[in-house]
Chain A
Amino acid sequence: MLHLVNKSPFERTNLQACLQRAAPKSAILLLEDAVYGSLKGTVLSDLVGEAVNTFDVFVLEPDLVVRGLDAEQILQGVKPIGYDEFVDLTVARGTVQSWL
């Protein structure tokens, strides 16, 4: 299962809702404004940093670049991926849930 989160977790609670309901080992991809949730040193870093122990957490690198963020600012265990890997992930994980 692949969970997609595209809203900033500082403004809305879509990411938190996802983390509370996703089955262990699920893939969670942060894209668009949700990429802010992958940053180090924020009030959400503990939550997301802990989630990588339960889920496979990815962040869409092109959406980081747009926002002036780079891989060094991202929490350990959150894997940056590109569009090709996003497609692969979608195929490999079968079902997709978007937390809109």
Chain B
Amino acid sequence: MSEPEETPDDPVVKRFLYVNRKAPHGTVYALEELEMVLIAAMFEQDVHVVFLDDGVFQIKKNQSPGALEMKDFSKTYRALEGYDIEKIYVEKESMDERGLSTDDFIIPVEVLERAEIAALMDSMDVVLSA
């Protein structure tokens, strides 16, 4: 079977999952992944975002990288809602291991158990990880 043909009136919408596993400021991965999320949103895809492992630190409240003259992209996560990106998940175990709770996050998230992450990934057309 060939892929469904895309026309302006009937665009192909795929299920995208962006997997964030890196802490935000020590490397550039988190910022790059966030930019990829915004690109997918512009193409009106079905975007899902999950924060695992050290990725949960990306949405920690009160970040101020401006103090080291770095870009404060943590505020951009709050703008995702404006792009209709509302399927945002955090893995419970990753959060608990790091002493964090949903109160520590700058955006509302749905908390999933580690066992549920596999099913989430499995249900996607495209998974992009950083």
A7 to B60, CA, bound (A): 18
* Cβ B23 vs Cβ A66 within 8 A: no
Ordered by A's residue number, 13 sampled pairs between the chains whose C-beta atoms are within 8 Å are A10-B53, A10-B98, A32-B26, A33-B26, A33-B54, A39-B99, A43-B98, A62-B68, A66-B64, A67-B60, A68-B60, A68-B61, A69-B60
For the complex, would chain A's binding face be called helix, strand, loop or mixed by DSSP majority?
loop
Known: A8-B23, A62-B67. 16 other contacts (CB 8 A): A7-B26, A33-B25, A33-B26, A36-B23, A41-B99, A42-B99, A65-B64, A65-B67, A66-B67, A67-B23, A67-B24, A67-B63, A68-B61, A68-B63, A69-B60, A69-B62
Taking the nearest CB of chain B, how far is it from the CB of A9, in angstroms? 10
* Cβ B98 vs Cβ A39 within 8 A: yes
Interface positions of A (Cβ within 8 A of B): 6-8, 10-11, 32-33, 36, 39-43, 45, 62-63, 65-70, 73
Q: What are the residues of chain A within 8 A of B68 when measuring CB–CB? A: 62-63, 66
With both beta carbons as reference points, the residue of chain A lying nearest to B94 in the complex is identified as A10
Q: How many residues of B contact A (CB 8 A)?
A: 22
A34 to B63, CA, bound (A): 16
A32 to B23, CA, bound (A): 10
Q: What are the residues of chain B within 8 A of A42 when measuring CB–CB? A: 97-99
Which of A33, A39, A41 is close to B23, meaning CB atoms less than 8 Å apart?
Answer: A33
A10 to B61, CA, bound (A): 19
* Cβ B26 vs Cβ A6 within 8 A: yes
Taking the nearest CB of chain A, how far is it from the CB of B78, in angstroms? 14
Q: What are the residues of chain A within 8 A of B23 when measuring CB–CB? A: 8, 11, 33, 36, 67
- CB contact list, B64-102 vs A, under 8 A: 64-65, 67-68, 70, 74, 97-99
B18 on the A face (CB < 8 A):
no
A11 to B20, CA, bound (A): 13
With both beta carbons as reference points, the residue of chain B lying nearest to A7 in the complex is identified as B26
Which of A6, A8, A43, A70 is close to B54, meaning CB atoms less than 8 Å apart?
Answer: A8
